[in-house]
Amino acid sequence: MGLKVYNTISGKKEDFTPVTEGQVKLYVCGVTVYDHCHIGHARSAIVFDTIYRYLRSKGYDVTYVRNFTDIDDKIIRRSHAENIAWQEIGQTYIRSFYEDMDALGILRPNHEPRATEHIGDMITLVDTLLKKGHAYNVGGDVYFSVDSFRNYGQLSKRPLEEMMSGARVDIDEKKKNPLDFALWKASKEGEPSWDAPFGAGRPGWHIECSAMSTLFLGNPFDIHGGGKDLVFPHHENEKAQTEAATGGKFVNYWVHNGFVNIDREKMSKSIGNTLLIRDFLKEYHPEVLRLFYLSNHYRSPVDYNSQSIEDSNIALYRLYYTRERAAEAQKGKMFASQSYEMADEMVRKFNEAMDDDFNTALAISYIFDLSKDINRMVDEKDESAVPLIVAAETAYEYLADTLGLLQDTLESLESQGKSRHLARMGLDVAFVENAINDRIEARKAKDFQKADQIRTMLAEKGIMLLDTPKGTQWRIKTSVS
RNA sequence: GGCGGCAUAGCCAAGUGGUAAGGCGACGGUCUGCAAAACCGUUAUUCUCCGGUUCAAAUCCGGAUGCCGCCUCCA
């Protein structure tokens, strides 16, 4: 069975056929570097990272391009407000972006062009549009004429006439049509500018993605992605200007991820409820966010709330513990490799789910099925089942890897969680260990009342004790009350 | 005003014609000095409501209600 991808432009799932067999050209709109990234950026990054991982696991040779918008109104505004060079604003937030993305386990794309590195390509494109009569110059500002492009509105399914009647479009005297958008903005005092045959200035927002995607991937290319909000106007405009310039098709498959709400409310700066990635990471392991997002379909809106995140946190621990148990069951055992039908079945179903427009939520359910199966075999303590555990665990790792999960060690996951928790409670490891030692003594003396008092005391501080064959271990209580 | 989406158990959530995945929680059991973890079992005869099509509908069609997004910078 082949891959099916939901295409925004047709509103349907379509069979995926790349332009060149065996290769996928993928372009995803990156960020404007004027602030730290929030968990909405994280969703987009995680969704396309997962798509990228899956395409590679299917054997495609993927060329993945993700841009940085490092010249733009918001950057200039911030530069003026903080009295810092605009270039420096960009550098700062590109660094911040990488810190966040690396923490989240987002793989680096093949190319990460910055808009300012390709001004020349943009100028060429604007020039072409002027020469072809799709753009006009008003005192150094160059606008794209939407009336000159027959298919304008095709992607966002907004006929021109209807948008015209929309009351929310700014009336700009300079534009022939209120929907015309800037390809090039004339040079202004205190703003960066580049020389161009049609007048010095700086590029409009949409032109960079047209220039850079075409440069790195050619036309048409396979998949263009981004957040749902980019459908209009950004992608509509990219498409219009590129197709007007080349006369050919720009993109075959448009893929857009849904938005993140916080406690059922739209996350936005004006409401003041944006959550930065770095603030999230102070509380939880990065894979908690990944598991949470991938448990929802990428096109649906997702509601971020403490209950759901806590659920994902617990579930993530479960997956790590299973891997640990599988490893222990194999330790020091000799075994011949053996195929295991159940594991093969899970891999097959996993790929089938991912082939169906990247249904990660369904795909994840097979990881949990494998987890249950592995735990069951480990519990049975049947030596002859060890090869099956190995086979199941191999499948387990493959599924998790493809989704970018279980990339850390249990030790690291636990120690991060423990130190966060202890710091919050104002406790330290020595306190816990002393209490555990006291309890061990009490248990030796069969003073179970005292032992239970210690257990209760620690439980009240969110610390859970486990008496295992290897001795008493402790964990942070993950369950919510 | 225009365009689009969603409504599935206590909570989260997948499922677009063939008889309801998975996670979290709860309850019973195994295990344990007691617990925890893990496993086993139970937890939606039913998918917002009302009609229709069909041998068959959570899934298709029509209508109602409720929630949400976009049309403006935005992942």
Residues 355-384 of chain A within 7 A of strand B, judged by CB, are 356-357, 359, 361-362, 364-365, 368-369, 371-372, 375-376, 378-379
Residues 267-296 of chain A within 7 A of strand B, judged by CB, are 267-268, 295-296
CB of A4 lies under 7 Å from some atom of strand B: no
Q: How many whole angstroms from its chain centre is CA A440?
A: 46
Handedness of CA A37, A40, A42, A48 (dihedral sign): negative
Whole-number pLDDT of residue A262: 93
**CA A13 – C1' B12 distance (Å)?**
25
CA distances from A298 to A3, A96, A277, A294, A307 (A): 16, 25, 18, 7, 20
CB of A203 lies under 7 Å from some atom of strand B: no
Written as six digits, the tokens of A153 are 């509105």
Written as six digits, the tokens of A409 are 């060690």
Whole-number pLDDT of residue A264: 87
| Cβ–Cβ under 8 Å, residues A386 and A330 | yes
**CA A96 – C1' B19 distance (Å)?**
52
Which nucleotide is nearest, taking the CA of residue A467 and each C1'?
B36
Measured distance between the N- and C-terminal CA atoms of chain A, rounded to whole angstroms: 44
What is the complex's ipTM, to 2 decimals?
0.95
Cα separation, A223 vs A454, whole angstroms: 58
| Cβ–Cβ under 8 Å, residues A158 and A232 | yes
CB of A471 lies under 7 Å from some atom of strand B: no
Beta strands in A204-354 (DSSP E): 221-227, 251-257, 260-262, 265-266, 302-304
Residues 220-249 of chain A within 7 A of strand B, judged by CB, are 226-234
If you measure CA to C1', which residue is closest to nucleotide B23? Answer: A315
Residues 96-125 of chain A within 7 A of strand B, judged by CB, are none
CB of A311 lies under 7 Å from some atom of strand B: yes
CB of A162 lies under 7 Å from some atom of strand B: yes
Whole-number pLDDT of residue A143: 95
CA distances from A469 to A32, A270, A332, A463 (A): 53, 54, 17, 19
Whole-number pLDDT of residue A171: 58
If you measure CA to C1', which residue is closest to nucleotide B3? Answer: A158
Whole-number pLDDT of residue A162: 65
If you measure CA to C1', which residue is closest to nucleotide B67? Answer: A264
Residues 341-360 of chain A within 7 A of strand B, judged by CB, are 356-357, 359
**Residues ≥6 apart with Cβ < 8 Å to A472:** A436, A439, A440, A465, A466
| Identity at A92, one-letter amino acid code | T
Helices A39-57/A386-403 angle, 10° precision: 120
Domain boundaries, chain A: 18-257, 306-403, 410-476
| Cβ–Cβ under 8 Å, residues A418 and A411 | no
**Residues ≥6 apart with Cβ < 8 Å to A140:** A184, A186, A187, A198, A199, A200, A201
Task: Dump the DSSP string for A174-220.
Answer: T-SSTT-EEEEEE--TTS--B--TT-SEEE-TTHHHHHHHHHHH-SS
Of residues A234, A212, A290, A227, the one with CA closest to residue A27: A212
**Domain covering A306-403: architecture:** Up-down Bundle (1.20)
Which nucleotide is nearest, taking the CA of residue A168 and each C1'?
B72
Q: What is the CA radius of gyration of chain A?
A: 27
Per-residue pLDDT of chain A (481 residues; tens, 9 = 90+): 589 999 999 888 999 999 999 999 999 999 999 999 999 999 999 999 999 999 999 999 999 999 999 999 999 999 999 999 999 999 999 999 999 999 999 999 999 999 999 999 999 999 999 999 999 999 999 999 999 998 898 898 877 776 665 444 455 678 888 889 999 999 999 899 999 999 999 999 999 999 999 999 999 999 999 999 999 899 999 999 999 999 999 999 999 999 999 998 888 877 788 999 999 999 999 999 999 999 999 999 999 999 999 999 999 999 999 999 999 998 888 777 789 999 999 999 999 999 999 999 999 999 999 999 999 999 998 888 999 999 999 999 999 999 999 999 999 999 999 999 999 999 999 999 999 999 999 999 999 999 999 999 999 899 999 998 889 999 998 654 3
**CA A297 – C1' B44 distance (Å)?**
22
Which nucleotide is nearest, taking the CA of residue A267 and each C1'?
B74
**CA A160 – C1' B53 distance (Å)?**
37
Cα separation, A372 vs A384, whole angstroms: 18
Whole-number pLDDT of residue A168: 47
CB of A470 lies under 7 Å from some atom of strand B: no
Cα separation, A32 vs A71, whole angstroms: 8
Superfamily of domain A18-257 in CATH is HUPs (3.40.50.620)
The partner residues of A13 in beta bridges, in order of sequence, read: A6
| Cβ–Cβ under 8 Å, residues A403 and A290 | yes
Task: Dump the DSSP string for A30-78.
Answer: EEESSS--BHHHHHHHHHHHHHHHHHHHTT-EEEEEEEEE-SSHHHHHH
Whole-number pLDDT of residue A160: 73
Of residues A24, A29, A27, the one with CA closest to residue A55: A24
Question: What single-letter DSSP state applies at residue A384?
Answer: G
CB of A36 lies under 7 Å from some atom of strand B: no
Written as six digits, the tokens of A3 are 């891959």
- List the nucleotides on chain B closer than 7 A to a protein CB: 1-6, 11-16, 21-26, 32-40, 67-75
Cα separation, A246 vs A263, whole angstroms: 45
CB of A302 lies under 7 Å from some atom of strand B: yes
CB of A395 lies under 7 Å from some atom of strand B: no
Cα separation, A182 vs A138, whole angstroms: 11
